[in-house]
Structure 1
Amino acid sequence: MSAVLDLKQVSVQFGSHTALHAVNLNIHAGERVALVGANGCGKSTLLRVAHGLLSASQGQVHAAPSVRQAMVFQRPHMLRTSVLRFVMWGLWLQGVPWRAAKAQAMVALHRVDLQDLAERPARALSGGQQQRLALARAWALQPDCVLLDEPTSSLDPHAKRDVEQMMADWVAASGVTLLFSSHNLGQVKRLATRVIYLEVGRVLADLPVDHFFHQSLAESHPQAHLFLKGELV
């Protein structure tokens, strides 16, 4: 498998606080990698560095030049525009002509079942609808790699199921690479092929999903085991 993302000895410093400590991480095409850990462990920082939104204080971040990336945030920022134009703007900024962008945007809205709300203000949508809209815009860009920061954490159970199903369908349809953070361990089991456990900015476990949830984790990675049991101090 070819490498999509490669982080070598990456550290991120915010003043006196070190958010990431010498992280080494290699993501290959087609993998579905979940980042787990307590709040403040560095998951969001790692995603932002991987997407180029933050610069590493030390180390190197390499993204394959031929790989298109898109990122979906926990609470997507909605522009003061319609649902349709919200998707169109992303395409237009990538060089797609306006008329073609409209056609492609409508296809993306159909994919997330928002086509009937195309002319509604994006900011008037519910939280679940806004997350589906953000996924539609990302999908319209036809990325090879998608980064998602807690994509369902602020949603009600029904909306969570919808968004999770869209993620699964996306992978099944296109084989896209996923790198996502989540506190929902059931979601991690269902969607991930690999799990990375972070604690205070350090990667303490990097395992296939079946190994991460296996009883032998207590011996091989005791801190990750305590996290799974809800006993992490």
Structure 2
Amino acid sequence: MNVAFKHDDAAAGSGEPAVISVSGLSKSFISGKPVFSGISFDIAPGSVVALIGANGAGKSTLLRCIPRLIEPDGGHIRVLGTDVLDRRRSLRGLRARLGFVFQKHNLVGRLSALTNVIHGAQARRYGARAWLQSLAPKRLREEAMACLERVGLPQTAAQRADSLSGGQSQRVAIARALMQQPDIVLADEPAASLDPQAGDEVMELFASLMRKEAKTVVFTSHNLTHALAFSDRVIALGGGRIQLDAPSSALKESDLRGLYV
């Protein structure tokens, strides 16, 4: 099944260029055994895209190739007008415009929830002032508190991160991403480590906040309900290729389950 969705046409129709453009991308970890090859797609500003696929299909690898956290073997990537694969170019400025939310929440356990959120401001060149809440200027502390309030956790500000539940930890990680003020958010299995109820709550919150902020989002998921409910578009990987690229509104779970056979 291959449902074509010309999202680059949607970008053109809005008068804005694609904010992520991938062309002919390939990656192998073992010589002669590509994870994927010939991957091409464009993502329009403000869209929410779900990457799905069976274990080993390469969705997390693809997500990490976008900001060159993993080096692809070939192809082209442009993000926010920057040629990501130009080795002469520093990606520090670009990565400062990208927010990251991962399955492992990557909080500093011995530090407070508020300090962990303040860490998001490091991408905005606050340096040492964004290492600890005691060093942060009042404006940064107030901004971080507002981010915690947006994820419903102002009461956890003084708690050590390692005392939080899994759902609370992921909410703090989302608050930290918001603190960064990114243009694009990349999320790798953001609900996979949570129980079903907490996972549903976190994904609903995440999607709601991203849409309210008009962020462009790419997230990976094994949960087909989440992929359809919280995205505008689904891209499915399988056999090293894109097997499906379609608007979520045109799909049912039964369409997607066939990709896992």
Taking the aligned partners of 2:207 and 2:23, their CA distance within structure 1 comes to: 29
SS for the counterpart of 1:110 is helix
Q: Which residue, 23, 29, 42 being the options, matches 1:26? A: 42
Identity percentage over the alignment? 36
Deviations 1:152-193 (A, max 9, x none): 112112212221221232133122111111111111221111
Would you say 1:75 and 2:104 are equivalent positions? Answer: yes
Alignment partner for residue 65 of structure 2, among 13, 24, 49? Answer: 49
Compare 199-208 and 95-104 and name the one that shifted more. Answer: 95-104
Superposition pairs for residues 1-233 of structure 1, below 5 Å? 1=11, 2-16=17-31, 17-65=33-81, 68-79=97-108, 80-96=110-126, 98-99=136-137, 100-213=139-252, 226-227=258-259, 232=261
Q: Which runs of 4+ in 1 moved over 6 A?
A: none
- Counterparts of 1:207 and 1:71, CA distance in 2: 24
8 A Cα contact 2:225 2:253, kept in partner: no
Distance 1:90 1:214, change over 3 A: closer
Maintained 8 Å contact 1:42/1:200: no
Residue 220 (structure 1) aligns with? none
Q: In angstroms, what is the RMSD of aligned CA positions?
A: 2.0
Shift of 1:6: 0.8
Aligned length: 222
* 8 Å CA contact retained: 2:24, 2:40: yes
Q: Secondary structure at the match of 1:3?
A: coil
d(CA) in 1 for partners of 2:45 and 2:231? 13
Partners of 2:224 and 2:253 within 8 A in 1: no
Partner Cα separation in structure 1 for residue 252 and residue 175 of structure 2 = 31
Describe the SS at the equivalent of 1:143. coil
- Partner AA of 2:51 in structure 1: L
What is the TM-score when the length of structure 1 is the normalising length?
Answer: 0.87
Aligned pair in 2 of structure 1 residues 148, 198: CA closer, same or farther (>3 Å)?
A: same
SS at match of 1:186: helix
Deviation of 1:69 (Å): 1.5
8 A contact 1:33–1:193 mirrored in 2 = yes
Task: Kindly state the Cα deviation for residue 5 of structure 1 after the two structures are TM-superposed.
Answer: 0.6
- Other-structure match for 1:221: none
8 Å CA contact 2:26, 2:39 repeated in 1: yes
Q: Once the two structures are superposed, what CA deviation does each residue of 1:115-156 show, in whole Å capped at 9, x if it has no partner?
A: 111121112211111111110100111222111111111211
Cα distance in structure 2, aligned partners of 1:103 and 1:36: 37
Give unpaired runs (5+ residues) of structure 2: 1-10, 12-16, 83-93, 130-135
Offset at 1:23? 0.8
